[in-house]
Chains A and B, each alone.
Chain A
Amino acid sequence: MPSPSLTVNGRTVPLDGVPAHTTALDWLRESGLVGAKEGCAEGECGACSVLVARPGTTTPTRWTALNACLVPVLALDGQEVVTAEGLGTPDDLHPVQHEMAVRGGSQCGYCTPGFVCSMAAEFYRPDRAPGEPTPEHGANGFDLHALSGNLCRCTGYRPIRDAAYALAAPDADDALAGRQTRPAPAATPTDVPGFARPADLPAALALLAEHPDAVVVAGSTDHGVEVNLRGLRARQVVAIDRLPELHGVSVTDEVVEIGAAVTLSEVAARLDGAVPLLDLLLPQFASVLIRNGATLGGNLGTGSPIGDAAPVLLALDASLVLVSAAGEREVALADYFTGYRRSVRTAGELIRAVRIPQPQPGLVGFTKIAKRRFDDISSVAVAVGVDVVDGEVTRATIGLGGVAATPIRARATEEALVGARWPDVAAAADVLAGEGTPLDDHRASAAYRRAMLRQSLLKIAAAEVPA
């Protein structure tokens, strides 16, 4: 296996001897590229955003913005990265840099290189096309959500929005736009002390069998936080995000299957509306910077009670395909979680895919209670799926997050709903308010969480009236 390396701003640099826990951000800064900054070290502020050449859905390559603070640099072995320094120079500004500079898009400038990279990713989005402006889309087709993972403490954002909305299409001879028309770098198998990227699923499972305490990472959006904030130094990290066996997306009359390592950004694009409840969830799931790396497998694999995927998948009655060297098994998501950040998944087992049975509920709703509309963690998440026949609820599935040690099904409420006249759900909403065991914490009081359980069902019912 060749020694690992990374191409940054067109120059290929060896990664010899880099510790497994070293983040791309620290490595870039130590190598002299100090444009990317550490603002939070947990993927919340985007000051470390860089562009990575990833396989695209509409073009062979797509410049994808990622939080460099979360990704182990070894996970980028064989890949191509562009930083703010690589986009342009003070004498030859990139169009994104030009608009940011002349419109007052930078004040202290510390978040700026990250904003520039996130903005450049959207600038190069192949299907970005002019259209009718909306509050969150410019007339140039720029989707403001592309910047949802970047924080600025100085400007109040208006000039940054103006810069984004002023961007034209890339010039015909734009080198980075041209790069998107050629294939993305392939995933390079990597095997150095403490970090491995196996070539395929059997190799991955063999590694896991060998290292039962290995940490499995895809986008590393959770693991990176543990490394940076809690000093986790895993003996072995196994990167599974490019395993072809974990990348399928298929839709049949019986089941929708989503590969566990498909990034959330890709899930939305590749499902193309096949799972309406996921379309309600995904725009509210963290930020684009996170969704570009995070996966359903990761969100369920961490077993967090406040991951937003679980309530939605519970409401869809989904199951997980678990695979190990011994073979595959399918577990209903409702039976998957066993306690706080614990599950039935054993050491050596991977989540290969998520299965959603068809037909899905005829009517779905999702409420995420959080302080901030973009990129926040739920205090309560409520996902509802119901079938309504002649105004009567015939089936109900409800998934809840943030109200117990695990994501849970609201079974009592489901029972109370069946037979109710939709949207008269007040009685069921009262039952829902009693589900789980909400706690007081810095995100919300227990009383508010309880109230929000009730209110969420009322709100969903008020919004969704069946045709």
Chain B
Amino acid sequence: MSALSERPLGAVVGAAVPHEAAALHVTGRALYTDDLVGRTKGVLHAWPVQVLAAHARVTAVRTDAATDVPGVVRVLTAADVPGVNDAGVKHDEPLFPDEVMFFGHAVAWVLGETLEAARLGAVAVEVDVEELPAVVTVRDAVAAESFQGGQPTLLRGPDVEEALAGSAHVFSGEFEFAGQEHFYLETHCALAQVDEDGQVFVQSSTQHPTETQEIVAHVLGLASSEVTVQCLRMGGGFGGKEMQPHGLAAIAALGARLTGRPVRLRLNRAQDITMTGKRHGFLAQWRVGFDDDGRLTALDATLTSDGGWSLDLSEPVLARALCHIDNAYWIPAVRVNGRIARTNKTSQTAFRGFGGPQGMLVIEDVLGRCAPTLGFTAEELRRRNFYAAGQDTPYGQPVRHADRLATAWQQVLDSSDFSARTASVEAFNASSAHVKRGLAITPVKFGISFNFTAFNQGGALVHVYKDGSVLITHGGTEMGQGLHTKMLQVAATALGVPLSRVRLAPTRTDKVPNTSATAASSGADLNGGAVKNACEQILGRLAQVAAEELHVPAADVRFVDGRVRGLDADGPSLPWEDVVRLAYFSRVQLWAAGFYRTEGLHWDSAAMRGEPFKYFAYGVAAAEVEVDGFTGAYRVRRVDIVHDVGDSLSPLVDLGQVEGGFVQGVGWLTLEDLRWDERTGKITTSSASTYKLPSFSEMPEDFRVSLLDAAHEDGAVYGAKAVGEPPLMLAFSVREALRQAAAAFGPAGTSVDLASPATPEAVFWAVEAARAAEGAHVRDGGSAPPQPQGPPIRPESERVLGQA
């Protein structure tokens, strides 16, 4: 057990406590950025001028009519930008574009005394455009060779062509699957004010305050030290507020600088969906080899992600997709190419899993389609291919704790009563003509850390006040994931005080600078390490003070539950508050800045080799579904999950992440149907009435989640693993169960091709195909997928980019 992971006596981490803001949430008193508007005097409201063309050159923007609208104060255009006219860091996403790149692209913003005035002003702005040819679908982009960014290749083992030639079974296929709208309940929002001397203070719903600060600064032509960004909390983020808030915050800040008044920019739902990025959809083309025992011999695949109009985070998303195409499986020979389509759509971005889910979906789809053709149950085919101890990933990282995969798998088989229920599903299906069931089990292995090594650092600021109360701030943001709850527990544990002694202040760039995005599931690992470090600096000093008072060596001083004593638990002790007061009068520093860097990481993004991850998080899910053969409608009857969170920092929080991630994954794979009009480029599902999130009706009727026992992680704070992203991919179990249920409408051994999302319509067509015994569109043999020859991902492009 390492010093980092070891838990002291009376640790507050590990206690199942509610979310730190739960009482504020339930009483409507928790504040989000837009809730501040009523507390701020003289606020102006911003409204975008969206151009309704997928691709067009802007030839004129006339604002006179808009400024004549009562209540309109100003129209912001490109001419107003004093610094760099770019919302990102790659200079490929102009904040005020002269070329419309997607349907709904904003070319100007109107500031009004009221939102109504700003809206009417935006209607009055006249924009002349010359329409240009648009590329909307990923297949159109491939045909037009419209790509952007690097084209990495992941290579491992013997030559793929030879390995396939020597394989007993070779299949090939294609799989195009959809992205996902984040649909955080709180849409993007920023409120900017100008302080004394032109300094800008922006409150933003952002996962990455530091980068919001940097973008605001470069748009305004200011130094970072002149811009402060605060995030109180977010009403959900899921990756959608990692890069996307920056330009919006910059618009608000620009408006505030130009008018001297506070400016609020809040997107309504339609604006949020039509203007901001989503999870990338992918086109996967593949060949795969198996031996006679069902063991994977080779994988040859090309993944084309739909990046939308600009790069944003598409390169690191693609890299993570490539790094997760193995999921839990040992594949000796690997050649996987990646490329990013440039299309006239919103610029797709981070979303929980960050490409990992897309890569893993490909291999799970391959296994689900091939299992019946190979004559194995899907469960058996998956198990046979698990990583074993001593094996490494295609990018060369040893798969540490691979045994946990088998352990969790067996636990789920046992707890879900898998074999007996498989028999009862078969019996049910044999006696039911119109309704069929499916039961599937799938694994998750997910690498934790930012692929790009530099981002794996965290900072914190811990203050102990003279009265013994503690205030902590750290570089991470709270979006509902419970990070602040965990950080309070870490601080209370590290200082040996009750949880009630510690308060947490909102995330601000003038408290903790140069932070990484709260992303990549890394928030607790990085910021927890930093909080602990700061607390230990303070304790080190307090121990000296207490040692003198208690007449024990400083090394023997213990801080437990608000009291300070020597090694003898029954010996003399002092209240925490007394030691703090003594320290103050002894002129001892009672605050500290903490820092943490994840050790032992290295990554060569050009070669796609290295050990980018501190550890892997594992999980297994078994899902049972029931499909109505008349309509394709279905319900999830039962789900059993065992998930590896290490030694949980906060079990109630972690349980919530596992369940919530799972249901969000089910949404992506089944219900959430993101549609673009392929002719106009317009998103046709731009509202809650057309883009359906999971509701109560999608919650598994019987939902049993447990955390893997004996799962200590040596390399992370207090032995806990990251939990934000990995559980999303447990939802593959539902998709595979739907595939099996659809197959049950056909003859035994039917292989089914299932679209993603597997909407009732998609399931109905799968049922129809099974009934017609068409078989899956898996071809025997087949030729190699396209082999792009573009440059690799450039490390410098990652240096400035976050990764969720």
> Which residues on A are within 8 Å of B, measured CB to CB?
29-30, 32-42, 44-45, 47, 83-85, 87-90, 93, 96-98, 100-113, 116, 135, 144, 147-148, 151-159, 161, 225, 228-229, 231, 367, 369-377, 441-445, 448, 451-452, 455-456, 458-459, 462
Would you list 9 pairs from A and B whose C-beta atoms are within 8 A, ordered by A residue? Answer: A33-B28, A40-B689, A44-B688, A102-B22, A153-B183, A228-B268, A231-B119, A372-B694, A452-B631
Determine if B38 and A158 form an interchain contact, defined as CB atoms under 8 angstroms apart. no
Kindly state the separation between the CA atoms of A89 and B689 in the bound complex, as whole angstroms. 33
Shortest B369–chain A CB gap in Å is 22
Determine if B660 and A41 form an interchain contact, defined as CB atoms under 8 angstroms apart. no
Kindly list the 5 A-B residue pairs having the minimum CB-CB distance in the complex, ordered from nearest.
A35-B28, A108-B480, A110-B235, A109-B25, A156-B663
Most buried by B among A33, A96, A108: A108
**Is B139 an interface residue, CB under 8 A from the partner?**
no
Determine if A148 and B26 form an interchain contact, defined as CB atoms under 8 angstroms apart. no
Determine if B26 and A154 form an interchain contact, defined as CB atoms under 8 angstroms apart. no
- Whether A374 contacts B695 in the complex (CB less than 8 A), given A442-B684, A444-B761, comes out as yes
Determine if B25 and A153 form an interchain contact, defined as CB atoms under 8 angstroms apart. no
- Whether A367 contacts B688 in the complex (CB less than 8 A), given A90-B27, A100-B26, A107-B480, comes out as no
Determine if A101 and B23 form an interchain contact, defined as CB atoms under 8 angstroms apart. yes
Kindly state the separation between the CA atoms of A29 and B238 in the bound complex, as whole angstroms. 26
Kindly state the separation between the CA atoms of A252 and B185 in the bound complex, as whole angstroms. 47
| B662 cross-chain contacts in A, Cβ below 8 A | 156
Determine if A83 and B434 form an interchain contact, defined as CB atoms under 8 angstroms apart. no
Determine if B184 and A85 form an interchain contact, defined as CB atoms under 8 angstroms apart. no
| B479 cross-chain contacts in A, Cβ below 8 A | 108
| A371 cross-chain contacts in B, Cβ below 8 A | 671, 673, 692, 759-760
Determine if B186 and A110 form an interchain contact, defined as CB atoms under 8 angstroms apart. yes
**Is B428 an interface residue, CB under 8 A from the partner?**
no
- Whether A85 contacts B29 in the complex (CB less than 8 A), given A41-B268, A154-B656, comes out as yes
| A112 cross-chain contacts in B, Cβ below 8 A | 25-26, 28, 30
| B663 cross-chain contacts in A, Cβ below 8 A | 155-157
Determine if A372 and B631 form an interchain contact, defined as CB atoms under 8 angstroms apart. no
Kindly state the separation between the CA atoms of A40 and B768 in the bound complex, as whole angstroms. 36
**Is B664 an interface residue, CB under 8 A from the partner?**
yes
> Which residues on B are within 8 Å of A, measured CB to CB?
18-19, 21-32, 34-35, 38, 119, 123, 183-187, 233-236, 238, 268-270, 434, 479-482, 628, 630-631, 633, 635, 652-653, 655-656, 659-664, 671, 673, 675, 684-685, 687-690, 692-701, 703, 759-761, 764-765, 768
Kindly state the separation between the CA atoms of A84 and B30 in the bound complex, as whole angstroms. 11
| A441 cross-chain contacts in B, Cβ below 8 A | 684
Determine if B688 and A151 form an interchain contact, defined as CB atoms under 8 angstroms apart. yes
- Whether A108 contacts B184 in the complex (CB less than 8 A), given A113-B28, A155-B660, A456-B630, comes out as yes
Of B630, B655, B687, the contact of A44 (CB 8 Å cutoff): B687
Kindly state the separation between the CA atoms of A147 and B697 in the bound complex, as whole angstroms. 10
Determine if A109 and B21 form an interchain contact, defined as CB atoms under 8 angstroms apart. yes
| A154 cross-chain contacts in B, Cβ below 8 A | 236, 480, 656, 660
Q: What residue in chain A is nearest B26 (Cβ atoms)?
A: A97
Determine if A89 and B656 form an interchain contact, defined as CB atoms under 8 angstroms apart. no
| B183 cross-chain contacts in A, Cβ below 8 A | 153
Kindly state the separation between the CA atoms of A151 and B664 in the bound complex, as whole angstroms. 12
Kindly state the separation between the CA atoms of A35 and B482 in the bound complex, as whole angstroms. 20
Of B30, B652, B675, B688, the contact of A45 (CB 8 Å cutoff): B688
Determine if B703 and A153 form an interchain contact, defined as CB atoms under 8 angstroms apart. no
Determine if B27 and A84 form an interchain contact, defined as CB atoms under 8 angstroms apart. yes
Determine if B689 and A153 form an interchain contact, defined as CB atoms under 8 angstroms apart. no
| A103 cross-chain contacts in B, Cβ below 8 A | 18
Kindly state the separation between the CA atoms of A90 and B764 in the bound complex, as whole angstroms. 49
Determine if A372 and B698 form an interchain contact, defined as CB atoms under 8 angstroms apart. yes
- Whether A106 contacts B22 in the complex (CB less than 8 A), given A39-B185, A44-B689, comes out as yes
Determine if A84 and B28 form an interchain contact, defined as CB atoms under 8 angstroms apart. yes
Q: What residue in chain B is nearest A102 (Cβ atoms)?
A: B18
Determine if A442 and B675 form an interchain contact, defined as CB atoms under 8 angstroms apart. yes
Determine if A116 and B185 form an interchain contact, defined as CB atoms under 8 angstroms apart. no
| A90 cross-chain contacts in B, Cβ below 8 A | 23-24, 27, 29
- Whether A88 contacts B27 in the complex (CB less than 8 A), given A44-B689, A102-B22, A462-B434, comes out as yes
Determine if A106 and B25 form an interchain contact, defined as CB atoms under 8 angstroms apart. yes
Shortest A81–chain B CB gap in Å is 13
Of A104, A225, A375, A377, the contact of B18 (CB 8 Å cutoff): A104
Most buried by B among A96, A116, A443: A443
| A373 cross-chain contacts in B, Cβ below 8 A | 633, 635, 695, 697-698
Q: What residue in chain A is nearest B762 (Cβ atoms)?
A: A448
Q: What residue in chain A is nearest B651 (Cβ atoms)?
A: A104
Determine if A93 and B235 form an interchain contact, defined as CB atoms under 8 angstroms apart. no
Shortest A116–chain B CB gap in Å is 6
Main secondary structure, interface of A, reads loop
Of A38, A375, A376, A459, the contact of B630 (CB 8 Å cutoff): A459
Most buried by A among B482, B635, B692: B692
9 new A-B contacts, CB < 8 A, other than A37-B185, A161-B699, A377-B689, are A39-B269, A85-B29, A88-B27, A98-B26, A108-B479, A152-B185, A153-B185, A156-B660, A442-B684
Determine if B482 and A151 form an interchain contact, defined as CB atoms under 8 angstroms apart. no
Kindly state the separation between the CA atoms of A125 and B307 in the bound complex, as whole angstroms. 50
Of B23, B630, B698, B703, the contact of A455 (CB 8 Å cutoff): B630
Q: What residue in chain B is nearest A373 (Cβ atoms)?
A: B697
| A452 cross-chain contacts in B, Cβ below 8 A | 631
Determine if A42 and B689 form an interchain contact, defined as CB atoms under 8 angstroms apart. yes
Kindly state the separation between the CA atoms of A41 and B34 in the bound complex, as whole angstroms. 15
Most buried by A among B480, B661, B671, B684: B480
Q: What residue in chain B is nearest A86 (Cβ atoms)?
A: B28
Shortest B191–chain A CB gap in Å is 13
Kindly state the separation between the CA atoms of A168 and B356 in the bound complex, as whole angstroms. 44
Shortest B187–chain A CB gap in Å is 8
| A109 cross-chain contacts in B, Cβ below 8 A | 19, 21-22, 24-26, 30, 233, 235, 480
Determine if A148 and B696 form an interchain contact, defined as CB atoms under 8 angstroms apart. yes
Kindly state the separation between the CA atoms of A151 and B183 in the bound complex, as whole angstroms. 10
Q: What residue in chain B is nearest A287 (Cβ atoms)?
A: B695
Determine if B764 and A448 form an interchain contact, defined as CB atoms under 8 angstroms apart. yes
- Whether A34 contacts B28 in the complex (CB less than 8 A), given A101-B22, A371-B692, comes out as yes
Kindly state the separation between the CA atoms of A110 and B183 in the bound complex, as whole angstroms. 12
Kindly state the separation between the CA atoms of A90 and B238 in the bound complex, as whole angstroms. 27
Q: What residue in chain A is nearest B269 (Cβ atoms)?
A: A40
| B38 cross-chain contacts in A, Cβ below 8 A | 29-30, 32, 34
| B480 cross-chain contacts in A, Cβ below 8 A | 106-110, 154
Determine if B481 and A448 form an interchain contact, defined as CB atoms under 8 angstroms apart. no
Shortest A445–chain B CB gap in Å is 7
Determine if B759 and A107 form an interchain contact, defined as CB atoms under 8 angstroms apart. no
Kindly state the separation between the CA atoms of A192 and B791 in the bound complex, as whole angstroms. 67
Q: What residue in chain A is nearest B183 (Cβ atoms)?
A: A153
Determine if B23 and A442 form an interchain contact, defined as CB atoms under 8 angstroms apart. no
| A367 cross-chain contacts in B, Cβ below 8 A | 631
Q: What residue in chain B is nearest A111 (Cβ atoms)?
A: B185
Kindly state the separation between the CA atoms of A97 and B23 in the bound complex, as whole angstroms. 8
Kindly state the separation between the CA atoms of A11 and B35 in the bound complex, as whole angstroms. 21
Most buried by B among A157, A374, A452: A157
Shortest B432–chain A CB gap in Å is 11
Determine if A34 and B695 form an interchain contact, defined as CB atoms under 8 angstroms apart. no
Of A33, A34, A110, A369, the contact of B236 (CB 8 Å cutoff): A110
- Whether A229 contacts B687 in the complex (CB less than 8 A), given A90-B23, A153-B236, A442-B673, comes out as yes
Shortest B588–chain A CB gap in Å is 35
| A34 cross-chain contacts in B, Cβ below 8 A | 28, 31, 34-35, 38
Determine if B695 and A107 form an interchain contact, defined as CB atoms under 8 angstroms apart. no
Kindly state the separation between the CA atoms of A112 and B29 in the bound complex, as whole angstroms. 11
Shortest B435–chain A CB gap in Å is 10
Q: What residue in chain B is nearest A101 (Cβ atoms)?
A: B22
Kindly state the separation between the CA atoms of A47 and B187 in the bound complex, as whole angstroms. 12
Shortest B20–chain A CB gap in Å is 11
Shortest A313–chain B CB gap in Å is 22
Most buried by A among B30, B185, B481: B185
Q: What residue in chain B is nearest A35 (Cβ atoms)?
A: B28
Shortest A87–chain B CB gap in Å is 7
